[in-house]
Amino acid sequence: MRALEIQTPDGWLRGVAGDEVAHWRGVPFAAAPVGEFRWRAPQPVQPWQGFREADRFGPICAQPRSAGLGSGAQRRTPQSEDCLTLNITAPAEPSADSLPVMVFIHGGAFVNGAGSDPAYDGSQLVRRGQVVYVSLNYRLGALGWMHFDEYATAQRPIESNLGLRDQLAAMEWVQRNISLFGGDPNRVTVFGESAGAISITTLLSCPRAEGLFAGAIAQSSAPRVVPHLEQAHRWAREFLGYLVANPDDGDEVRALLEEVTPAELSLALSRLSAAGLRDEPSAIPVVPVVDGDLVPRLPVPAIADGEGIPVPLVIGTCDREGTLFSHFSPTHPSLKPTWKQMVTKAHSFVDQVGDPDDAEGDETPPATQLREIYPGYPKRGALADLAGDGAFWYPSVEVMEAHSCHAPTFAYRYDYAPRLMNMMGVNATHGGELLPVFGIYDNEIGRFMTALGGRGHYEGLTATMQDQWLHFAHHQRPMDDWPPYRLEDRCTMIFDRDPRVESDPRSDRRLAWQAVTGHLPTAD
């Protein structure tokens, strides 16, 4: 049995034994971001004396209470600004050799979620694939992703991209310490879903992240949501308008930032987001930004120009990303994108391209071509698919194209949905692949989804997807039946009842989106 008492440079940890695995939970990777460290980049861990009991998860980042897959904040879940901890799961029996490490970044629209959520229990991956699994917390909502750095002074430093800096600090901790838990710091795979995947495609364009991971897996990223700092500053001023009389008064703003409570920040973010639904439906005010420092450029063009980190990458989306939001739109206004927002964005996007009145020849105008690709537009199902493809699928295709020119890239699409989800019209939607990746079809959500059948298919898909993810962690490539994505064939693994490889799936949609985006102005 592995020794549960481990001495780190910061102090002793005492873990807990589980079913064939050992856990160390609530391990701090940075100082508490409170007091003078609030609104600051994560600071070094403050060492402790004696043993730190690592048998329970630390508090999650302050966030709205909600429910659902990966929601993080259940009714009794402790919350705190002192949330910068990570969790480690390793085989109970130590290996003679160092094991690959899988670091998971949770999703939740950058406003909710936690590495401790039961949906992200990595025990199955550890037992099945002999890896060391790490999950982490990072600052959420305004505390992590609202950018107040223009109010900084020499006496009161304030940094941007705090949530992204938290993720980097956690991975730097892994590099320094994971060998103590049997992990190999040279074989770290970072993977994440939704906001976690957006973080990963952003980190690929972040020079400071180089050397922190040997491979990456991005599940349902939306890489185009990252704005420039000027836009983020405008959102910050609008946000502050709900909290102070004069957002241009630096002294008043700095005093507020010292004292404002997480609940007050959450309420202001809700009001800002609600206003965005009316006035700026494509705006997502809590996201990573191009700050010219940590993130020098927009991720997609940076990767395309060879300025990304050239590690092997697995990237993909679910079959119908948008139906989750059309059927189960979150009630909290800051949990974007909501269905109303996605619909408005889809309409405005198509209208922005327009159909030229003087189109010549037989060429179909781009906006018309895009509408025709989604039969029934603008009915609900077609809009869900157009909005989901525009937010998640096509931008991920752009990353596939860009990254494959510089490093091994492997594309997938997740198509499986049990009978109940198909009857509801949700199908294989956003977050659906989390069930087989983590093998959580036995939890409350999994039992609900398989109420009318499908458990056997989930068991098969769990074995398939976990084996692929684990093989990638061990070898920085999937198994041999999954060819790399190249522009000449665009091979894509389709995860369904019977997994298969297709060449350039949905090429008609890809070409339609390519034509539309080619008619829009771009800025970097």
Among 180, 178, 225, 234, CA closest to 198? 225
Q: Identify the active-site residue in 321, 398, 401, 433.
A: 321
- Decide if 470 contacts 129 (C-beta within 8 A): yes
Question: Is 321 assigned a catalytic role?
Answer: yes
Question: Does 430 qualify as catalytic in the annotation?
Answer: yes
Report how far Cα 222 is from the mean position of its chain's Cα atoms.
Answer: 9
C-alpha–C-alpha distance, residues 396 and 12, integer Å: 42
Q: Which of 194, 205, 266, 334 is flagged as catalytic?
A: 194
Question: In a 3-state reduction of DSSP, which class is residue 426?
Answer: coil
Write down how long the chain is: 524
The 8-class DSSP code of residue 361 comes to T
26 is written with which tokens? 């609530």
Sheet with 16-17, strands from edge to edge, namely: 16-17, 21-28, 85-91, 132-136, 99-105, 183-193, 215-219, 313-318, 409-414, 491-495, 500-503
Is-contact 36 20, C-beta < 8 A?
A: no
End-to-end CA distance of the chain: 53
- Single-letter code of the amino acid located at 235: W
Alpha carbon distances (Å) from 510 to 394, 401, 490, 504, 507? 7, 11, 11, 9, 5
Contact criterion met (CB below 8 Å) for 107 and 196: yes
Instruction: Please state, as a whole number, how many other Cβ atoms lie within 10 Å of the Cβ of residue 362.
Output: 5
CB 84 within 8 A of CB 138: yes
- How far is 464 from 437, CA to CA, in rounded Å? 9
Residue with tokens 């091979």: 491
* Beta strands per DSSP E along 303-449: 313-318, 409-414
Q: Could you tell me the sign of the dihedral formed by the alpha carbons of 493, 499, 504, 508, in that order?
A: negative
Cα 167 from Cα 80, distance rounded (Å): 17
Q: How many Å apart are CA 255 and CA 234, to the nearest integer?
A: 20
Note whether 112 and 451 are within 8 A (CB): no
- What is d(CA 64, CA 87) in angstroms, rounded to the nearest whole number? 22
Q: Which of 106, 147, 430, 457 is catalytic?
A: 430
Q: Which positions are annotated as active-site residues?
A: 194, 321, 430
